[in-house]
Amino acid sequence: MNDKGSTLVVVVFTMLIVLFLGTGLLEISTMDFMMSNNQVDAIKAYYIAEAGMNKAIAALRHDQVTQSTILGLKESNLPYTLPLGEDFGATENHEGNFSIMVTKLGLDPGNKWRKLILSSTGKYDKAKRVILSEVQMNIGGGVSPFLSSGVAVISDGKVTTNNECKITGNVYAKGNIDIGSSKARINGSVFGYGDSTRIGSNDRITGDLMSSGTVNLDSPTFIDGDLLGSVKVSINSYSHIGGDVQSQNIDDSGSDCIVEGNLYGIQNVKTGSNWNVSKDLFSSGTVTTGSSSTIQGNLYGKRDISLGSGTHIGGNIQGKQLVTLNSNAYTDKNLYGQSNVTLESSAKVTGDLLSSGNVTLKSSAKVIQNLYSSQNIFLESSAKANGGIQGEGTVSLGSSAGTEGSIFARGGISIGSSGSVLGDMVSYGDIELKSSNATVHGDVFGLGSNKSIYVRSDGIVKGTTVSHGSLSSEWHATFGNDVYGKTVSLGGGNAVSGNIHYVQPPCSYPRDFPANKIKQIEESEFPQAPDFPSFPSFPGFPEPSALFNILTTPPFPGIPQVTPEQYQEESTKITQENINLSNLSSGVYYVDNSVSNVNVSGAYTGVITIVSKGKITVTGNITTEDHQANGLMLLSFKEIYFNWNITAGDALFFCVPYNGSNGQITTSSSCKLQGGVIAGNFTLGSSSELICDDSISQKFGIGSSGISSVVVNHWSESTN
């Protein structure tokens, strides 16, 4: 009995020991699992922090907004959180994110660099890791892309120049452009983004002229590069374009213009007389040329084409609708018309003419090679198609009209008085030699069983005549060889040099014709007609991009977005109304807001910026001795004005539209500016000059960070 009790006690103790051991092992496993998960979360947090730091450095290198933000930071702004945070792997139970903070800032007194301590904090659930990096941003200066190399003027509104002005450098204007008459000159390109751009008479642009609106060129105007007017281009007399011309509509009433490139009208093209285009002309709409004009290349028109009298096309003509060559107009190559084609008197196609519509050659018009039409062909008096004629419809030759080749027609053929065909004639329709001396030197085949061949008085067929229908003639017709007809009726006085063959009686023939030369035969014994030649196919109508370098206006560069408040705190204050630059050293000077107009003049040394919320008037010359080292920027938020006969060199003139002002910069006459202009509107007085100076724009950081490089000096994980 006692042994049984002791056994129970041992079992109970053993079970308790196993329970305690199991519980302990479970707690250890749970702790290990939690520690493992925490380690995984910490690794995820680290990689999130690393991704954040990489994104921050990329933004410092490439994002202008981030660059400008850093350049505007002061010690008093720290710590500063950059707006670059991003969530990662957000789910119902987990969320990861990073944030970027600038904790320290080092400034170079010479404004050559910025040093930053960046802190990137990565979080995943409850785990957090921090990466620190020391970054140096090296400042190259300049306002690119707002005033990049070669730019003289950027205007947020209009640009106006008066007579005999000169600008060296490119001009950009968001508004209208008006270049005054009388030998104004732009040594660069002009880019207009307003409704209209006008270039005055005797003006010259040595680069391109590109406008998003309408372009009007007075007589004469000289553009050495390309000309683009997205809406419309009007070119007046004696103008000269050195490159391509492109517009929705090209409309001109002027004469004697020269285009050394291509002429491309997205809708319609209309030129004046005596134009000379050195390359191709393409229009998606109509083409109308003035008299005596020359297109040295090909002409393509998707709608009606009308060439003025005496116009010369050096290449092919290809039209999808009506094509008209007026009197004495001509092409050196082929004409392809997918609708009706008309050659007025004495017009000429030196190559082939191929048309899907009717073709009409007026008096003395010529096709030197072959003439093809899917419909009817009309050659009026003295018109000629020397190579041959092939029509799917009828062919009609007027008096003295003719061809040195053969005629093949699915419809009828008629030859007027003194008309001439040196080759054969083959037709499935009626054939008629209408009047005296209408002559076919080859054979004539009428293949229609219910059709006829009819030769009127004094008509002549020198070869064999074959009609699978009726053959008849009037008085004094001449047949130079055998004649064949299902029925034959020849008039009196006819001359037949060969035999007469007929299928169905009766057979009528001249009274004195020998009976032994008259034979009744089967139609199967008739001579075989030559086969119809294969009808040529039209060349594919090219797309403009296959022909031309399609012109587009580059994006407007914009003007820097700055405010007076950006300069007030860090600048030296100026309270006087008259500033002699020789009294200033390098630095930024802010004119007190109580001064509504400040007068500036003098010789300066160093790199100086003068900022005014009011008007700046340049009352005297501005000069400097060291062109490379020195630079001046005048920045106004109202207006900048130059008095008469002012010389202002090595300066950037910047006027910002602000609080209702239009940011106007104006020079009086006879001024000379060297540097660059950024303005809401810009007016250059008569006989004034503006010369672009790239070295000036590189000395100032307005409108762009001017960051040349970003270097990571140190990268580590924070142990705090």
Helix 2-62 × helix 64-71 angle, to 10°: 90
Residue 497 near residue 517 (C-beta atoms within 8 A) = no
| pLDDT tens-digit series, residues 366-388 | 999 999 999 999 999 999 999 99
Statement: residue 98 has pLDDT above 80: no
Residues 6 or more apart from 102 whose CB is under 8 A from it?
70, 73, 78, 79, 80, 81, 82, 116, 117, 118, 119
Q: Give the residue ranges of DSSP H helices in 562-720.
A: 565-568, 694-697
Q: What is the mean pLDDT of residues 125-150?
A: 71
Statement: residue 349 has pLDDT above 60: yes
Statement: residue 192 has pLDDT above 50: yes
150 C-beta neighbours (distance < 10 Å), count: 14
Statement: residue 175 has pLDDT above 50: yes
Cα distances (Å, whole numbers) of residue 688 to 367, 621, 681, 684: 58, 14, 16, 6
Between 241-245, 315-319, 384-388, 625-629, the lowest mean confidence (pLDDT) is in: 625-629
Q: Tokens for 118?
A: 């960046």
SS (H, E, C) 622-651: EECCCCCCCEEEEEECCEEEECCCCEEEEE
Q: What is the mean pLDDT of residues 342-370?
A: 97
pLDDT of residue 611: 94
| pLDDT tens-digit series, residues 614-634 | 999 999 999 998 877 788 999
618 C-beta neighbours (distance < 10 Å), count: 23
Kindly report the backbone phi and psi dihedral angles of residue 90, in degrees, each rounded to the nearest multiple of 5, phi listed first.
-70, 125
pLDDT of residue 457: 87
Q: Is 324 left (phi over 0), alpha (psi -120 to 50) or beta?
A: beta
pLDDT of residue 560: 79
Q: Which residue has the higher pLDDT, 286 or 120?
A: 286
Q: Which residue has the tokens 């979080």?
A: 123
| pLDDT tens-digit series, residues 195-208 | 999 999 999 999 99
Tell me how far apart the alpha carbons of residues 562 and 607 are, in angstroms, rounded to a whole number: 19
Between 112-121, 139-148, 517-526, 655-664, the lowest mean confidence (pLDDT) is in: 139-148
Query: Among residues 291, 358, 299, which one has the least CA distance to residue 328?
Result: 291
Statement: residue 30 has pLDDT above 80: no
Q: Which residue has the higher pLDDT, 36 or 684?
A: 684
The 8-class DSSP code of residue 430 comes to -
H-helix or E-strand containing 609? strand 607-612
pLDDT of residue 37: 59
Statement: residue 119 has pLDDT above 60: yes
pLDDT category of residue 33 using cuts at 50, 70 and 90: very low
pLDDT of residue 36: 54
Residue 611 near residue 589 (C-beta atoms within 8 A) = yes
Q: Fill in the amino acid letter for 261.
A: G
Which of the listed ranges 53-67, 73-87, 308-322, 648-662 does the model predict with the highest average pLDDT? 308-322
pLDDT of residue 692: 93
- By CB atoms closer than 10 A (0-12, 13-18, 19+), residue 303 is middle
Kindly report the backbone phi and psi dihedral angles of residue 438, in degrees, each rounded to the nearest multiple of 5, phi listed first.
-65, 125
Q: Tokens for 367?
A: 């096709």
| pLDDT tens-digit series, residues 703-719 | 444 566 777 777 777 76
Query: Among residues 337, 329, 364, which one has the least CA distance to residue 353?
Result: 337
Q: What is the mean pLDDT of residues 393-422?
A: 96
Q: What is the mean pLDDT of residues 414-439?
A: 94
The 8-class DSSP code of residue 534 comes to P
Q: Which residue has the tokens 């005014």?
A: 612
Q: Which residue has the higher pLDDT, 230 or 683?
A: 683
Cα distances (Å, whole numbers) of residue 391 to 142, 186, 343: 70, 56, 17
Q: Tokens for 275?
A: 């134009």
Q: Give the residue ranges of DSSP H helices in 88-128.
A: none
Which of the listed ranges 228-237, 339-348, 542-551, 642-651 does the model predict with the highest average pLDDT? 339-348
Query: Among residues 398, 330, 328, which one has the least CA distance to residue 360?
Result: 398
Cis ω before 530 (30° cut-off from 0): no
Between 113-117, 338-342, 668-672, the lowest mean confidence (pLDDT) is in: 113-117
pLDDT of residue 718: 72
Q: What is the mean pLDDT of residues 108-112?
A: 61
Q: What is the mean pLDDT of residues 340-364?
A: 97
Tell me how far apart the alpha carbons of residues 113 and 107 are, in angstroms, rounded to a whole number: 7
Kindly report the backbone phi and psi dihedral angles of residue 45, in degrees, each rounded to the nearest multiple of 5, phi listed first.
-65, -40
| pLDDT tens-digit series, residues 556-580 | 888 877 888 877 765 788 999 999 9
pLDDT of residue 143: 42
Q: What is the mean pLDDT of residues 3-18?
A: 67
Residue 464 near residue 443 (C-beta atoms within 8 A) = yes
| Average pLDDT of the chain to the nearest whole number | 87
Statement: residue 635 has pLDDT above 90: yes
Kindly report the backbone phi and psi dihedral angles of residue 583, in degrees, each rounded to the nearest multiple of 5, phi listed first.
-90, 0
Residue 535 near residue 371 (C-beta atoms within 8 A) = no
Q: What is the mean pLDDT of residues 25-45?
A: 62
Tell me how far apart the alpha carbons of residues 237 and 257 are, in angstroms, rounded to a whole number: 6
